[in-house]
Amino acid sequence: MKKRGYYGAFGGRYVPETLMGALNELTREYNRLKREREFKERLKKLLEDYAGRPTPLYFSEKISGLCGCSVYLKREDLCHTGAHKINNALGQALVALKLGKKEIIAETGAGQHGVAAATAAALLGIDCRVFMGSKDMERQSENVSRMELLGARIHPVEEGSATLKEAVNAAVRCWSGNPEDIYYLLGSCVGPHPYPMMVRDFQSVIGKEVKMQLKKTPTHLVACVGGGSNSIGLFYPFFKDKIKMTGVEAAGAASLVNGNVGVLHGAKSYILYDRDGQVRNTHSIAPGLDYSAVGPEHAFYKTSGRAEYRKAEDSQALKAFDWMIRNEGIIPALESAHAIAWVMENKWKRDDVVVICLSGRGEKDLPIVRKMKGCGL
């Protein structure tokens, strides 16, 4: 990131003037805090004693046997709240506390970031509001209940496709109205600088742990990509290593595979839009992948050739979801099932060592699965 806030040609700040002061303040404070011993020690202690890190790196004999190589699962599903989102939520909530903000707001699609934000807010004694598309609220009702139990106020978003893109729109509008008192706890490595950098830094604990846990250097890293936080957390610590990295998008929301360069939610990246320049609605069985853009650092990884990006269909993710339950006794998030599906259907060499980020657990997705199977998938 040679130019502040940019990853090659991607990133930057494309926001209303009313938010520039808040972003400048956040950048200054974060750059100070990430060097502050007290902040780093408090976050480290919370990640270990509260969130349950380090998460295990599990060697899967059954997936390995199926693929003909060594396959490991980085078990982010075993984090407190059930996904990798707590890593970033705790970090940013501590930043909000240092900034003296009175309220945290967050967007959520699958609900896992909303739960993580509400959890961090409850722990630290800060008010919390969560914006969520009404379609996603219906699909992820369990997580809606969890957020409400944690004391968060839920704001249903009805407009557009009523999914993650619209939830981000609503959260940004709310933040723009009162940036002095509100902290926007963004859930993925998207948005204006410094958010992509902050989220990457907080999620990099995933890849750092893999480096310590795996005695041999992996040949491949694989993770699902929506906005891209779990994947950038796995990939970034290995950026300079000579290994392959693959991000797997949902086929109906594959901005890196099928998109074009544009600007959305404050940053320049790959976006799905139509001939008139309007952002396209997306579809995925996994609400956390149902997004029209991707983090700018992933866009840089794509154009520089540092990582490759592929896509998986709903039916492939469902097949992997079922296989994992019946053969491993693990219920993966539908988001993670996309990465697992791609690994299972790819061709491997015997000496390949593959690490998959199992980004979250899938109890939240059981109503979706039941509904989709009723439709014949």
Secondary structure letter of residue 237 according to DSSP:
G
**Across-strand partners of 85?**
none
- C-alpha to C-alpha distance for 323 and 339, rounded to whole angstroms: 13
With residues binned 3-state (H G I as helix, E B as strand, rest as coil), the percentages for the chain, rounded to 5, are 50, 20, 30
- C-alpha to C-alpha distance for 80 and 22, rounded to whole angstroms: 30
- C-alpha to C-alpha distance for 255 and 299, rounded to whole angstroms: 9
Given the residues 70, 255, 292, 359, the one annotated as active site: 359
- Could you give the strand order of the β-sheet that contains 308-312, starting from the edge strand earlier in sequence? 57-59, 70-75, 353-358, 220-224, 244-250, 308-312
Tell me the pairing of strands 308-312 and 244-250: parallel
Backbone angles phi and psi of 338, in degrees to 5? -65, -45
Pair of tokens at residue 18 = 């009313």
- C-alpha to C-alpha distance for 238 and 315, rounded to whole angstroms: 31
Given the residues 107, 209, 297, 335, the one annotated as active site: 107
85 is catalytic: yes
209 is catalytic: no
Given the residues 74, 85, 101, 311, the one annotated as active site: 85
- C-alpha to C-alpha distance for 373 and 36, rounded to whole angstroms: 51
Name the residues annotated as catalytic: 85, 107, 359
